[in-house]
Structures are given as C-alpha cells and as structure tokens.
Structure 1
Amino acid sequence: MPSDTMIRTVGCELDVEVTAATTLEFQITLAPQPGAEVKEQLTFLHDGKPVTPQEIIGEHGTRIHKFDAAEGLVRATYEATVTGLADPPPVREIDLSTYLRPSRYAEADKFFGFAATEFGDLADTTTLLEKIASWVGTRLNYVPGSSDPIDGAADTLLAGAGVCRDYAHLVVALLRAVNVPARLVSVYAPGCSPMDFHAVAEAYVEDQWRVVDATLLAPRQSMVRIATGRDAADTAFLDNHRGQIELKNMVVTAIVEGDLPRDSVQELVTLR
C-alpha cells in the first residue's frame, strides 16, 4: 500500500515550433488532487516572451491551457510536487452511462461478440478486470512507433502491437463490451520506462474507479492524474487548431521519494 505521506515530483518541458499561426491547447497540468498537498509552477514562453494562457476546466477537473500563437518557438514548462494521497475519484451516475458507450478510439461496439466469447463466463468484475488486463498484456507487444495517432482499439488488436494509449484503448473497449464502465486517463507515472506521458484505463469495479495498466510499465500506486475522458481524443497532452506545428523536444519527469511501490495485477488500485 502507498504511504499517505508519499511525495511525488512530476513535470515536463515541451518545445513546439509554430510554422503557421495556430491555437494551442496543452493538457499537461495535474487535475485537482483533493486530500493531497500540491505545489506547482507552469510557464509558457513564445520566442522567450511570457504568455498568459486561458485556463479551461473540463470533465473531472482536467485543465486545458489555451492560447493563440504566431510563428515561432513555444516552450511549455511545468513542475508539481504532490505530498500525500488524493481522495478516491468521485463516481457520478452520468459517468457510468457515458463510459459504457463506444468512442472514437475505443470502439466497444466492434467487440461485443468477441468479448462475450472470450470473457462472457466471468461474472465477477474483479476477476474480469484482471483477466482482461492480462489478456491484453499478453496479446500485445509494446513497440514504440508501431501505431498511428488515428489507430483505435480494433486496429491495435489486429496489429498485435502498440504503445500505452493503444493498450489502454483496447482494455477500455473490451471492458465496455462486457458492460463495465471504463475510461482513459493520462498520468505522470514514476518508474515508467521509457519515461513519457503515460495512458492507463480506469474501470468501475466494486463501487470505485480502479486503474488498469496492461503495459505493466510503472506501479499504479504512484501515478498522478492529468486528464480523464472517453479516449485519447479527450486526453492528448497537446492539440492545435488550424495552423501548423512541430514538436521539437519533449522531456517528461516523474519520480517518487524513496522506493517505488510494489504492484500486482491481482490488486485493485485506485488512482490517488
């Protein structure tokens, strides 16, 4: 079990070359962490000059930082220290409906028959969660660069390979297909290797949202929530509208003070 005095330090540095004027949206800051102490600092520079973004609060406290940018170099820098464990995420009735529906990258309707055949005999949702996570982790190979940004869960299953978001999309689609509400969460993940923004699934099991990571790349107990949504369309760390950009550099950091927690696929874990 993680300690209620756990200290996690997370952050990122992004360099974005704007080659045609655009509107940028970043989702790199932590969602609110009620119950934990958070100290953070966020800065944006455009060709070395400070930029003040508009902050938009989305679903589940997701924070979007938005601003217009002319041609030039945009640098985003974020650092946060989280002391203690946040309260378990709330459960809303609307979420239990929304996260049963098929979505852009988690096409649960394409998996109804398949999931029923593979997992339909498992009535206990805790066992179902473990089996689906293990099944996806066994069937897929983690291969950086093996998937396209437009690939959904069905593409991932056919390819047999992907990165964290692909694993999470397939887990989410299969869970929804067997009537378990599931969603995607982007996180900072201490211990993740290779270090990057990480994507995991969350499933509604035993009256709480439980985090599922079929990649097994990092202990779930030390992950910290950034954005939550239907799939990667809702949780991307960077979006641009019109114009043209190129991501020139990205460094993500996530560490925990002391030893990393030990994780087990048999354990139900809540993202805190």
Structure 2
Amino acid sequence: MKFKVHSTLEYQVLQPSTFILNIHALRTPTQTVLEESLVVDPEIRVEEFSSGPGANRFVRLEITEPVTFKIAYQATVEPVTQVIDLTPGMEPTPIMQLDASVLSYLNPSRYAQSDKLQRLASSKFDKYPGAFEKVLAITDWIYENVEYLSGSTNSQTSAYDTVSERAGVCRDFAHLGIALCRALSIPTRYFTAYAFKLNPPDFHACFEAYIGGNWLIFDATKLAPLNGLVKIANGRDAADVAVASIFGNVNCQNMRVGCETLEENFEPFYYNPNTLKALAY
C-alpha cells in the first residue's frame, strides 16, 4: 500500500538557534521511500544524519539571525505490513533469548516509568494468558480509562502522570502503554508516524511490543487504522524521537501534517478481540 505524506512547519526565530527535526519517513526493509523532497524557505543549509542503516533520520538546521522560515517535507512511501497468526497464551520471549538490540526496551525511561507502575500492571493484566492478550488488554484499558483531550498535557507529562490525571493525547497514551508492558517484562518501544484518516491531521504516536520474535503495532487511541501508519521513528520514548528539538528562542507559527493513500482498495485493519491476528511492521 502506497501513501503520500507531507508536513510543513513554520517557525519564527528570535535569536540564533539550532533545530533538530525528525519528520522524514523511515527507510527499513519493510518500508520503502519511493520519492521525497525537503524544501526550506528561505533557503537554509540542512544537514541530514542518522546512526546507521535503518536508523531514525534527523535533519539539523543552524539559524544565525532572526528570521521566519518554513520547512516542507513530502514523500511517497510504501510500508509493507504483515498479519501474523499468534498462538494463544504465547509468553514473552525469555530475557536470556532476547537480542541485545531489544534489551533496552525492557527498561524504565524518562516518560515511561515502568518501575513505578509494576503493581498496577500486575494487578490488572497478569490474569491474561499470553503476551499478546496482555498488551491488547492494556490498550483497551487505556482507551476506556484515559480521556483523549487535546491540550491537557505538556512535554513534561509522563506515564505516571497520565495514570493520575486520566487524560492525555496520543503521546501520553503511548507512554502509558509502553510503561505497563515493560512492567510485565514485554519489550516495548515508542513509534511515531504519519497516520491515514487521523482527525485532526497531526503527527501520531503509538507503540510496538516485541512478541514472538516480531515487533507488533498497538495504538491505545484507536484513532487510525493500524495499517494506515507510515513510520517516522522508533525510540525508548518521545525523548528519543521528538518531531522538533529546538535550542534557542523560537515560536512555532504553524504546522500542517497529512497522510493520504494512493490506492483505492485500502481495507483498514484493527484488532479483533476474538482472534489472535496481529500486525507487524
């Protein structure tokens, strides 16, 4: 399935500042970037960097004087998702068998304090028979018990705060899901994306849990079809993959984000509690 994604960010820079932006679609074995462009107006030198093949893609801009500028990204991307049939009651992969690249996603992180939520996770979700069933129950519990409320949180809000306040946005839903999964020894990572049919259009956050040797996608907001996501980045939490990290005196003037399918036969995929079919990216 091919998607057209685009984002435009406009900033007013009041003093010399540095921007690190994370808006490029990720290139992975299961996601092909067919074409893309990045335009900065007025023209400013842009440096793209990543930590290796398949790694998150960042751009850095150095602004030396006050200016108002726009940065516009667009791409045609083809993610390839796989529907996987899981065995009922499948337990998490034993920690001794986990690859080193997965181990860090077991640990508490800045916004996903799994160590503070172990009692809640055990009391509510240990009763479910397998790892997938546990994570599915976690996403349903968050959806039913946390109100999706724009403007209710800020960049400092953590999973622990969200449990207390019972309100948040996609970022908060993802952090809470990650923390509860890690508290049950299920490796889980943050996932940022362009999302088809997201209303209102914006960058979206959800999470992936490592089950049965695959990273499976979960979205506690249930605001977008799981197969309508174009991956931007993965990380331990939002601190690793912020859309914009800004160092300086800057105002965001405007932001526009979009994701459209280029094919007519799109069939949205959501989890059915009566089946054990999962989606892997």
Indicate whether the TM-score tops 0.5: yes
The residue number in structure 1 matching 2:280 is 270
Over aligned residues, Cα RMSD in angstroms?
1.9
**Partner of residue 199, structure 1:** 205
Conservation of the 8 A alpha-carbon contact between 2:25 and 2:33: no
Q: Aligned-pair distance for 1:20? A: 1.6
Change in Cα spacing, 1:23 to 1:127, as seen in structure 2 (3 Å) is same
| Aligned-residue offset at 1:31 | 1.1
Take 1:153 and 1:83, find their aligned partners in 2: how far apart are those partners?
32
Aligned residues: 260
How has the CA–CA distance of structure 1 residues 98 and 235 changed in structure 2, closer, same or farther, with 3 Å as cutoff?
A: same
Assess if the C-alpha contact under 8 Å between 1:187 and 1:198 holds in 2: yes
- For residues 42-61 of structure 1, the aligned pairs below 5 Å read 42-45=38-41, 48=42, 50-58=43-51, 60-61=54-55
Aligned twin of 2:18: 23
**Are 2:218 and 1:212 equivalent residues in the alignment?**
yes
CA contact (8 A) 2:37 2:73 kept: yes
State the match for 2:93 in structure 1: none
Task: Give the secondary structure class of the aligned counterpart of 1:158.
Answer: helix
Supply the distance in 2 between the matched residues of 1:83 and 1:103 (Cα, whole angstroms). Answer: 31
- Match of residue 233 from structure 2: 227
Partners of 1:222 and 1:261 within 8 A in 2: no
The residue aligned with 1:39 is 35
Equivalent pair of 1:10/1:254 in contact (CA under 8 Å): yes
Q: Could you tell me the TM-score, scaled by structure 1's length?
A: 0.90
Once the two structures are superposed, the pairs formed by residues 44-123 of structure 1 within 5 Å of their partners are: 44-45=40-41, 48=42, 50-58=43-51, 60-69=54-63, 70-83=65-78, 85=80, 93-123=99-129
Q: Which residue of 1 aligns with 2:92?
A: none
Q: State the distance in 1 between where 2:203 and 2:100 align.
A: 27
1:256 equivalenced with 2:249 (yes/no): no
Q: Could you tell me how far apart the structure 2 residues matched to 1:107 and 1:135 are?
A: 18
Correspondence 1:109-258 to 2 at 5 A: 109-241=115-247, 243-257=248-262, 258=264
Q: Distance between the aligned counterparts of 1:63 and 1:193, measured in 2?
A: 26
More deviation, 79-88/120-129: 79-88
Where 1:20 maps in the other structure, the secondary structure is coil
Q: Say which SS state the counterpart of residue 235 (structure 1) adopts.
A: coil
Q: Kindly provide the CA deviation profile for residues 188-227 of structure 1, in whole angstroms up to 9, marking residues without a partner as x.
A: 0011111100001110012100111010100011201101
Question: What SS is found at the alignment partner of 1:268?
Answer: strand
Cα displacement (A) at 1:250? 0.3
Q: 2: CA distance between counterparts of 1:180 and 1:55?
A: 33
TM-score (norm 2): 0.87
8 Å CA contact retained: 2:26, 2:33: no
Contact 1:106–1:169 (CA under 8 A) maintained in structure 2: yes
- Provide the rounded CA distance (Å) in 2 between the counterparts of 1:231 and 1:71: 32
Q: Distance in 1 between matches of 2:245 and 2:68?
A: 16
Name the % identity: 31
Aligned partners of 1:56, 1:227: CA distance in 2, in Å? 13
CA distance in 1, matches of 2:101, 2:146: 28
Preserved CA contact (<8 Å) 1:15 1:248: yes
| Distance in 2 of aligned mates of 1:33 and 1:220 | 18
Are the counterparts in 1 of residues 126 and 134 from structure 2 also a CA contact under 8 Å?
no
Q: Partners of 2:203 and 2:34 in 1: how far apart?
A: 19
**Is contact 1:189–1:254 with CA below 8 Å preserved after alignment?**
yes
Distance 1:83 1:97, change over 3 A: closer
